Each structure stands twice: as C-alpha cells, then as structure tokens.
C-alpha cells in the first residue's frame, strides 16, 4: 500500500504558514517583519525562535530596497548561497560566496583566522550597498564587524546575521545588534544557521508568500 501524503507544494506552504501563525507569538512584529519571521520559523521547523528574533529599525525596508536596486547578496557559506531561491530575487541579483575561492586557505593562515573570516576579505569591492547573509560562521560575523570598524570600509545596506552554534554565535550576534553599524536582523543565542538565514533572504526578496 503506497503512503498517502500532501503532494501539492502550494498547499504544503499554505498549511505550514497557517500552522505557524496559529502557534507562534508574532504580535510584536511590524507588518513587513511578520512574513520574514514566519519563514524563519518554517525553515527551522521550530515555533519559539520568534522570541529570539530581533530586527534593527528599518531593516526589512533597507534590505528590500537594496535588492530591488540590484544589490548582490554576499553569503558566508555555500549552504546559504545555494538555498536562496533565484526566482524570488527582484533584479536577478548576484549571489556570491567566496569561501572556496583560490587562496583562502593561505589567506586564513596568514590572518590567523578561519577560512570563513578570510573569505570576507574578498568581499570588499562588492560590500558597498550589498545585502550580507551570514548563516554559518560566528568568525565571519565578528570579522565583518571588525572590517566595519574601519570608517573607510564600504557599508553594506543590511546584514542578516544568524550564525549558529556553541562558540561565538550568541556573542557575535549580540555584538552586531548592539553596534548596529547598518540595519540588521539576528536570532539571539545559539540557534541560527543556513536554513534560517536563507528563509530571511527569501522572505525579504519577494512579498509573495
């Protein structure tokens, strides 16, 4: 006997979002933030993370305007760059991950840092006005914050900072949100990751649910 299950992708999305809206406490989010949080919960499979989601003022508008103007999306990991749904991007935006670029191993060794942090050095000429999506490495987010300490470093339009894990993740996200060098979105604490980050990008990229 074959297993029976819902096979309609649109129906699956609809039922998922309905379940999330019935279970999650979304009252404190502004109208443009709410669909972003719903997609983040969806990607995580976890009602409750909404308590740890924090937007800086104007974040969604800033990131959306940048994307509509053709800004590239700079990602710390291939799991982030590969997850972004290209048809949702408003301007055929470039999606860039430099983690596997030539010379990153050597650069990381020279910097005394991780490959994830070193990869950001290759972002400098694309960083101005870009949307940054960090969904894996706390060291990448910390290194970005240190790059932005330099007033001559170009400013991205917005940062989605959702690295995950047990060492530096919570600290790097708190540091981003406290310093807020540009509009940003974080999930406080250990939770985060590529799926949650991708969900935020996909939700901001298109108003279509």
Closest CB to its own copies among residues 51, 69: 51
103 binds its own copies (CB under 8 A): no
16 binds its own copies (CB under 8 A): yes
Residue 100 annotated among the catalytic residues of the structure: no
7 binds its own copies (CB under 8 A): yes
Print burial letters for 165-174: b (CB count within 10 Å at least 16), e (below 16). eeeebbebbe
Which one of 27-35, 38-46, 66-74, 121-129 is the stretch in contact with its own copies (CB under 8 A)? 38-46
120 binds its own copies (CB under 8 A): no
Rounded to whole angstroms, how far apart are CA atoms 44 and 205? 19
166 binds its own copies (CB under 8 A): yes
Least distance (Å) between residue 206 CB and its own copies = 18
Least distance (Å) between residue 128 CB and its own copies = 21
Rounded to whole angstroms, how far apart are CA atoms 104 and 116? 9
151 binds its own copies (CB under 8 A): no
Least distance (Å) between residue 169 CB and its own copies = 6
152 binds its own copies (CB under 8 A): no
156 binds its own copies (CB under 8 A): no
Best CA proximity match to 41, nearest among 64, 13, 63? 13
Q: Give the residue, chosen from 76, 123, 142, 201, that forms a contact with its own copies under the rule CB under 8 A.
A: 142
The residues that are catalytic are 42
């Amino acid at each position: 006997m074959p297993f029976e299950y819902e096979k309609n992708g649109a129906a699956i999305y609809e039922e998922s979002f309905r379940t999330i809206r019935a279970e999650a406490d979304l009252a404190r989010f502004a109208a443009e933030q709410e669909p972003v949080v719903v997609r983040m919960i969806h990607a995580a499979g976890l009602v409750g993370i909404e308590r740890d989601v924090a937007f800086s003022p104007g974040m969604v508008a800033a990131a959306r305007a940048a994307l509509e103007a053709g800004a590239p999306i700079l990602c710390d990991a291939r799991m982030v760059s590969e997850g972004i749904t290209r048809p949702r991007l408003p301007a055929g935006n470039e999606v860039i991950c430099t983690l596997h670029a030539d010379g990153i191993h050597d650069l990381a060794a020279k910097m005394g840092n991780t490959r994830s942090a070193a990869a950001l050095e290759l972002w400098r000429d694309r960083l101005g006005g870009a949307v940054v999506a960090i969904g894996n490495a706390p060291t990448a987010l910390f290194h970005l914050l240190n790059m932005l300490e330099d007033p001559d470093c170009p400013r991205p339009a917005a940062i989605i900072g959702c690295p995950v894990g047990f060492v530096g993740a919570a600290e790097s996200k708190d540091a981003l949100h406290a310093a807020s060098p540009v509009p940003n979105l974080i999930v406080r604490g250990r939770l985060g990751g590529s799926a949650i980050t991708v969900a935020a990008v996909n939700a901001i990229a298109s108003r279509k649910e």
